[in-house]
Chain A
Amino acid sequence: MSDLQTILGTLVILAPLALMMLLGSASLIGLPLSERAAARAVAVATSVGLSATLGVFAFMISTDVRHVVVSFGDWLHLKAEPPAQSYHFAVRFVFDRLSLPFVALTYVLFGTIGAFATRYMHREAGWNRFFTLYAVFLAGMVLAGLAGTIETLFLGWELVGIASAFLVGFFQDRPAPVRNALRIWIVYRISDAALLLAALSLHHMSGGGDFDKLTGYRETAGVSPLELRSWPIGGSELTSLQVLVVGGLLILAAAAKSALIPFSGWLPRAMEGPTPSSAVFYGALSVHLGAYLLLRIDPLIDASPILSVVIAVLGLATAAYAAIVARVQTDIKSALSFASLTQVGLIVAEIGFGWRYIPLVHLMGHACLRTLQFVRAPSFLRDHRATENAIGQRIARPPTSVFGLWLYRFALERGYFDALIDRCIVTPIVGICRSLDRLDRHATRFLHDESKAVEADAVAAKQELTV
Chain B
Amino acid sequence: MNVFLVPWLELAILIPLFGAVAVRFVREVDTAYPLTLGCAVASLSAALAAWVGHSIGMTPAWQPQAWPSFRMDSLNAPLIPLIALLHVLTILTTARVKQNRMSFTTHLFGESIRLATFSCLEPWPLIVLLALGILPPLLEMRRRNKSMRVFAIHMALFVVLLATGWFAVERDWTIGPALLLAAVLVRSGTVPTHLWVADLFEHATFGTALLFATPIVGMYVAVRLVIPVAPDWALSGIVIVSLVTAVLTAGVALVQTEARRFFAYFLLSQTSIVLIGLEIHSGNSTAGSLALWLSLIVSLGGLGLILRSLEARFGLLTFRNHRGLYAGSPIFAVGFALFGLGSVGFPGTMGFIASEVLLDGAIENNVWIGLVMVSVAALNGIAVMRVYFLLFTGAVRTSSLDFSATVRERVAILILLGVLFGCGLVPELFIGNVRQPAGAKQQHEQVHRSSVPPSQ
Contacts and interface: CB of A to CB of B under 8 A. Distances in A.
Given A172-B394, A460-B146, A89 B255 contact: no
Contacts of B378: 189-190, 192-193
Contacts of B287: 78, 87
A190 B381 CA distance: 11
Contacts of B282: 85
Nearest to A166: B337
Interface string B361-383: 10110010011001101100110
Contact of B360 (A159, A203, A440, A452): A203
Interface string B201-231: 0000000000000000000000000000000
B232 interface: no
B241 interface: no
A144 to B, nearest CB: 11
Nearest to A245: B367
Interface string A61-97: 0000000000000011010100001010100000000
A437 interface: yes
A89 B432 CA distance: 13
A204 interface: yes
Interface string B127-150: 000000000000000001111011
Interface string A143-157: 000000001001100
B359 A173 contact: no
Given A440-B195, A456-B146, A78 B431 contact: yes
Contact of B346 (A29, A87, A162, A181): A162
B145 A448 contact: no
Nearest to B392: A172
Interface in B326-383: 326, 330-331, 334, 337, 341, 346-348, 352-353, 356-357, 359-361, 363-364, 367, 370-371, 374-375, 377-378, 381-382
Nearest to B261: A437
A430 interface: yes
Nearest to B195: A444
Contact of A87 (B255, B357, B371): B357
Contact of B284 (A80, A448, A460): A80
A449 B149 contact: yes
B269 to A, nearest CB: 12
Contact of B248 (A436, A457, A459, A460): A436
A457 B347 CA distance: 43
B284 A85 contact: yes
Interface string A16-32: 00000000000111100
A197 B371 contact: yes
A85 to B, nearest CB: 6
Contacts of B195: 440, 443-444, 447
A50 interface: no
A364 interface: no
Nearest to A85: B283
Contact of A437 (B255, B334, B395): B255
Interface in A429-452: 429-430, 432-434, 436-437, 440, 443-444, 447-449, 452
B393 interface: yes
Nearest to B380: A189
A158 B346 contact: yes
A430 B322 contact: no
A200 B370 contact: yes
A65 B393 CA distance: 50
B240 interface: no
Given A158-B346, A169-B389, A448-B150, A433 B254 contact: yes
A185 interface: yes
Contacts of B393: 169, 172-173, 178
A121 interface: no
A260 interface: no
B153 A447 contact: yes
Contact of A178 (B149, B322, B360, B361): B322
B386 A440 contact: no
Contact of A433 (B251, B322, B352): B251
Given A178-B394, A447-B150, A460 B381 contact: no
Contact of B385 (A28, A165, A430): A165
Among A203, A433, A452, chain B packs the most CB atoms within 10 A around the CB of: A433
A392 interface: no
B180 interface: no
Contacts of A373: none
Given A76-B427, A80-B284, A85-B282, A200 B363 contact: yes
A460 B145 contact: yes
B396 A173 contact: yes
B394 A444 contact: no
Given A178-B393, A189-B381, A193-B375, A30 B347 contact: no
Contact of A193 (B147, B331, B377, B410): B377
Nearest to A430: B255
B147 A448 contact: yes
Contacts of B357: 76, 78, 87
A311 B254 CA distance: 33
Q: 7 closest Cβ contacts across the A-B interface?
A: A172-B393, A433-B251, A453-B147, A189-B378, A193-B378, A80-B283, A433-B255
24 contacts: A28-B331, A30-B331, A76-B428, A85-B284, A87-B287, A89-B356, A158-B346, A178-B389, A190-B378, A193-B375, A196-B359, A200-B360, A201-B367, A203-B360, A204-B363, A204-B364, A436-B252, A440-B195, A444-B195, A447-B149, A449-B147, A453-B147, A460-B144, A460-B146
Given A78-B283, A436-B251, 16 more contacts: A87-B361, A151-B356, A169-B389, A172-B392, A173-B396, A185-B385, A186-B382, A193-B374, A196-B359, A203-B360, A443-B195, A444-B195, A447-B150, A448-B149, A456-B145, A456-B146
Interface of A: 27-30, 75-76, 78, 80, 85, 87, 89, 151, 154-155, 158-159, 162, 165-166, 169, 172-173, 175, 178, 181-182, 185-186, 189-190, 192-193, 196-197, 200-201, 203-204, 429-430, 432-434, 436-437, 440, 443-444, 447-449, 452-453, 456-457, 459-460, 463
